[in-house]
Structure 1
Amino acid sequence: MKENTKDRIDLILATIPDSPGCYQYFDEKGTIIYVGKAKNLKKRVTSYFNKEHDNNKTRVLVKQIRDIKYIVVDSEEDALLLENNLIKQYRPRYNVLLKDDKTYPSIVVKNEYFPRVFQTRNIVRDGSQYYGPYPSVYTAKVMLQMLKDIYPIRTCKYPLTPETIAQGKYKECLQYHIKRCKAPCIGLQSLEEYMKNVSEIKEILKGNISHIAKILYEKMQQLAVELRFEEAQAIKEKYEIIENYRSKSTVVTPMLHNIDVFSFAENERSAYINFLHIGNGAIVQAHTFEYRKKLDEEKEELLGLGIIEMRKRFESNAREIIVPFDLDLQLEGITFTIPQRGDKKKLLELSEMNVRQYKIDRLKQAEKLNPEQRNTRLLKEIQTQLQLKKLPAHIECFDNSNIQGSDAVAACVVFIMGKPSKKDYRKYIIKTVEGPDDYASMKEVVYRRYKRLKEEGAPLPDLIITDGGKGQMEVVREVIEDELHLEIPITGLAKDKKHRTSEFLYGSPPTSLGLARQSPLFHLLEQMQNEVHRFAITFHKEKRSKRQTASELDQIKGIGEKTKVLLLREYKSVKRIKKASPEELKKLIGEAKVALLKEGLTK
């Protein structure tokens, strides 16, 4: 930081007030690179410059600051609202990025004669009333369809006025004939009756569904008492539609009304926040969104941003907010609750279930677009589970194969970033071990493998996986640590009685890490174990097959593998080849090789 810039920043830090407000950091081009809010501007802004930051991104941010501006406000709530607006306006490089910035559908009751009710994304300040926004088009359509099933609201775009209706300018449409509209356009429905329906629609859109259901029920009963059964039946049909919708949406007691619920989940790169608005025990609005992290933001800070964003977007005036943990956040007239039991706890658990599912879904979507991302995540999980110093990008797995000690072989397969690297696979014929001794065989192969890599200065793996339990792990450890003096983490994959992968072992003494059998990490490790086993078995079969097909032909100089195959395919055995005439053989392999063959077989 240049001297004159440092002097200017020092001056700002010396004079900045102890008030709540928002601060903005600018780079050398005069671009806003970060916006923040604080209860105490002086303490917060000064903290960026008077201490060493652990987070590398924060250190980079501080190095780029060339100017500071701030706005003083009356309260922390005002600071939060201002911060939210400034981030949206300037989209600074180092602020968390709301990945969910699209326009959501609302339902509008138009400010017009015989108001229309329809779905829209455009907010027009013409006196119309907007409800929502809804988290998806589907949700808005379900609500709109329910309203249309109950109330005969016009869908035409005629500019209705008392004069145009009286003059008979319009004609009834199909909606009238299928009884979805009462044709106010030609004067068949009064404005008073129509507006009464609109009034009830507004109550439903506000979330007061139970209130409307109660009114309809009482009206139905009254009509029945007056023996007006046809009218009572029409009201009953509306009542049943509303009750059906309400039963599907109610999650807790209807006594819980006008409450916001927030829950939080995160990973290294993103924070996920779920928002539910509860009216009369039902979920009126629900939405989950994602923030992309830029600095080392605390979860309390991120959830605070999310609360302000969602309450503003969905125009919530709830006086109680249910949250999963304490927040250093004060909003005027708002109570924050961390429930421990009961219906409010049930609401929080429902929100948490949704935010967890959203996090999983986002991860799956990202991994489908970029499959390598999945393997990186699983390798990081291995790194965390084993507390490794570095990501196990290079993993090597070993397995032995023999039948009662005969044709003993071993195999090493290599995985780079979770994928098989077949060009690096290696086969080993056991040379120093007699009889079926898996421990001794493993010891020989591991010693040969890493002694050579050490001598050649070749890259060593970040992790070794043995196909076996504690005994195999100890044998490998003795070679790696005691004999070769190398530092390579060692794990074991043990199998159960049905020869299925059952345990992932690590440590000294080895202990099971208890991975869930259905987890993606377990499947990756199982894939590695199956691959090394397949490779070892294949090599063993090849070696055994060669030994079993060995014959006198192998000892004859000039008779190669192809000639041998031709002869055995034609005559099936060496005995028959000996009995064959030179003329027959000559047609098959040529005169020169016949001479070599006869000479070799007569020795």
Structure 2
Amino acid sequence: MPTKSDSDPLSAEFDSKNYLKQLTERPGVYRMYDRGGDVLYVGKARNLKNRVSSYFRKSGLAPKTAALVGRIASIEVTITGSETEALLLEQNLIKSLRPPYNILLRDDKSYPYIYLSSHSDYPSLTFRRGRTKKGGGTWFGPFPSSGAVKESLNVLQKVFRIRNCNESYFRNRTRPCLQYQINRCTAPCVGYVTPEEYLEDIRHATMFLEGKNPAIIRDLMDAMEKASSNLDFEKAAEYRDQINHLRHVQEQQSVEGGSGDADVVAIAQDAGVVCVVVIVVRGGRVLGTKNYFPRFSIEDTEGELLGAFLGQYYLGGDTHREIPKEILVPTEVEGQSLISEALSDAAGRETRIRGNVRGERRRWLDLALTNARQTLITHLASKETVYRRLLALRDLLELAETPARMECFDISHSHGENTVASCVVFDDNGPLKSDYRLYNIEGITAGDDYAAMRQVLTRRYKRLISGDGKRPDLVFIDGGKGQLNIAREVFDELGISDIPLIGVAKGVTRRAGMEQLIDAMTGDVFRVPADSAALHLIQHIRDESHRFAITGHRARRDKKRRQSTLEGIEGVGPKRRRELIRYFGGIQEIRKASVDEIAKVQGVSKALAESIYAALHNE
């Protein structure tokens, strides 16, 4: 029986340290698998990185958890819009997968809902466990816990004063009950409120529960500010708690709710790798995700890739997959009508491929795109991927040994203002973020990238000559011959001759896959095939250097201008900043909010909410 080699990353145990480096801090669900591909445990988290990291601490694990960790061979995550959605998806997966390390509930309770009865004049608003079709009425939910629903109903009754009694009790009242006495009801049972006035309250409550009207929150925010200005802080705190409860009950559910069967297919590509994520939705529930990494040609468009994938996924091979009524895609699919017709024939009913969708389906598609991007990031940083690419890079550059440490430099500024240089570091595990460095460039002519490059390289490698700092095996410069010549001059001045120096130029077309590599020592300019694993690693390093430089430049610019974090976001002016702060109470709460929650602020569109979210999370 073959033994595993400690030096071969392809046969090593699960590399938790490297995996956690690239794990997102968004809410979501994680699934742990053993070596046979069987699921061991399903969990949910408000912050995936923090939660999954807790399993791999050096001490303090319970015996059951330690046994689980010892069997982990891989981990997959599904990002959700909020912790509530994560909890609902977690429960769906536990019921369907029944993992051995989860507590499997035997009572199989249904999710709690809020039910608005069908009474023509005075409908009631009540708590219900499970959803039925009897009696008509309107259902809101599901929600993550009965306590949250009951507490939220309590707040709604304070605000809207809607009855919560059953029909028999309501019909037989001759005088107001205690709910009226404590100002929780308008006593429609004895005619203290007209049907028109009561139905107006019902309309407002319904709009709020559907997330369509945040006016009540704005009123409560005004009242909170007024109470605070009058130094009535206890009352202001009550209003604050009411706002928080109302936001909770208002949360949109992307994991469960709505109806229909659909597969949601999203695609992401970077550094020569394509990731396709399929989210399975049945009966309005998100049941799980599956990730694929198909081979492709650099000339293929996303529409062509999706067309090829859909044909093979549903119709190719011996695997008989369930074909849903709808397949949601982010872009027009090559041969879409033909594929749709073939799938309809195979399923024996109509199957539609749709891209222009709204509402719940739009949220499913956004969720799939988010998961595709995050899965791709994790895959690119995996030890196996980096190891194979390092071997290819060694062969491409004809190096004596596989490089153990690589550094890449880039420059960022706005019209010469607040110039920042970045140095990112990759080792045999991928990005080594603890060794990333930013350099504020001073004393040069605005916009002089050559002078900026000279300054950062001199500062970085002057320390190396004096014996301070780690020595790289390979250095990349993001730029053409001009920047590379400056780098070579600095190396000559410092007497560095044994570190290979490579320039990465975008080429004439400036398209990914068409880069030109320049060897500083020989001056040779050469191109690498677009499907080269070595080129993919170089692209990854170059893109990471570019991203880190831009992030550092923006932070420096905002600090110098004394701007808030929101001020650097295009489309967010003083009025929208004020509304965001008033709605959430502070920048930390805005960071915790999902895109859908940010979009509920007055004057903030879905597109702007996505920009705000991305800016606050450095995406």
TM-score normalised according to structure 1 size? 0.29
Which structure would you say has the larger Rg?
A: 1
Indicate the structure whose relative CO is greater, using CA pairs within 8 Å and at least 6 residues apart.
2
TM-score normalised according to structure 2 size? 0.28
